[in-house]
């Protein structure tokens, strides 16, 4: 199986959804969502899962558990819009709360697509263990982050402690050390890569680049 890339109509669907985020409009355009968004995302997941499992054999193999839903849970949210303006793939292990663990991800919305890896809601204990590992061997951590330090498309996104933690490590480590979680994220405007089979190789190249940090985070996970 090969993934042909996304259709421009997927972006058109998100454009229209942003302006018509209600159940009546969605009911009349659900077939477009299925054809141009849901089915392609499932197909991309099916193609990529075996590839990602070469990086981590423990990643789940069920595309339904990798693909996000467009339907929002509005019960406990101030935002009562019924549909998300984006969908994503999260290549995850079989855990209760995958957002606390390292995952490779891809996301698409109207004006951009995102990619990367992270533990977006890492537990405080995990991050303490992460910092302890850095303290024990900062040179190891420098080797871990070296592969993507020159990658201009990936950036560290995380909430920083307002009161900096004591840190005597090199400046290349400080931002990581002061993070409450870890997420390496890249974003691009929709381009020929997104709309072609090249998107698979593009994502896998990024995931391979991030594997040393992915493994490091799993070793830190509690």
8 Å CB contact between 36 and 195: no
pLDDT at residue 222, rounded to an integer: 67
Supply angle C-alpha 108, 113, 119, rounded to 5.
85
pLDDT for 73 beyond 90: no
For the chain, the residue count is 222
17-70: per-residue pLDDT in tens?
Answer: 999 999 999 999 999 999 999 999 999 999 999 999 999 999 999 999 999 999
Q: Residue 206 and residue 217: Cα distance in Å, rounded?
A: 16
pLDDT for 77 beyond 80: no
pLDDT at residue 113, rounded to an integer: 98
169-204: per-residue pLDDT in tens?
Answer: 999 999 999 999 999 999 999 999 999 999 999 999
pTM metric for this prediction: 0.94
- Beta-bridge partners for 114: 107, 187
Among residues of the chain, what percentage have pLDDT more than 70? 100
How would residue 75 be classed by pLDDT, with cut points 50, 70 and 90? confident
């Amino acid at each position: 199986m090969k993934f042909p890339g996304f259709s421009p109509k997927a972006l058109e669907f998100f454009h229209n959804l942003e302006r018509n985020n209600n159940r009546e409009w969605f009911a009349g355009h659900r077939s477009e969502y299925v054809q141009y968004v849901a089915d392609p995302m499932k197909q991309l997941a099916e193609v990529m899962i075996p590839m990602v499992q070469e990086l981590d054999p423990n990643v789940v193999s069920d595309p339904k558990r990798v693909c996000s839903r467009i339907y929002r849970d509005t019960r406990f949210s101030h935002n009562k819009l019924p549909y998300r303006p984006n969908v994503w793939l999260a290549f995850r292990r079989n855990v209760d709360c995958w957002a606390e663990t390292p995952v490779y991800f891809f996301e698409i919305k109207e004006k951009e697509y995102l990619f990367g890896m992270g533990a977006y809601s890492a537990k405080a204990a995990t991050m303490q263990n992460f910092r302890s590992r850095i303290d024990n061997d900062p040179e190891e951590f420098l080797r871990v982050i070296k592969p993507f330090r020159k990658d201009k498309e990936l950036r560290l996104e995380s909430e920083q402690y307002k009161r900096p933690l004591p840190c005597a490590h090199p400046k290349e480590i400080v931002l990581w050390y002061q993070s409450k979680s870890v997420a390496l994220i890249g974003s691009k405007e929709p381009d020929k890569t997104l709309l072609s089979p090249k998107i698979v190789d593009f994502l896998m190249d990024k995931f391979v680049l991030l594997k040393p940090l992915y493994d490091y985070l799993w070793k830190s996970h509690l």
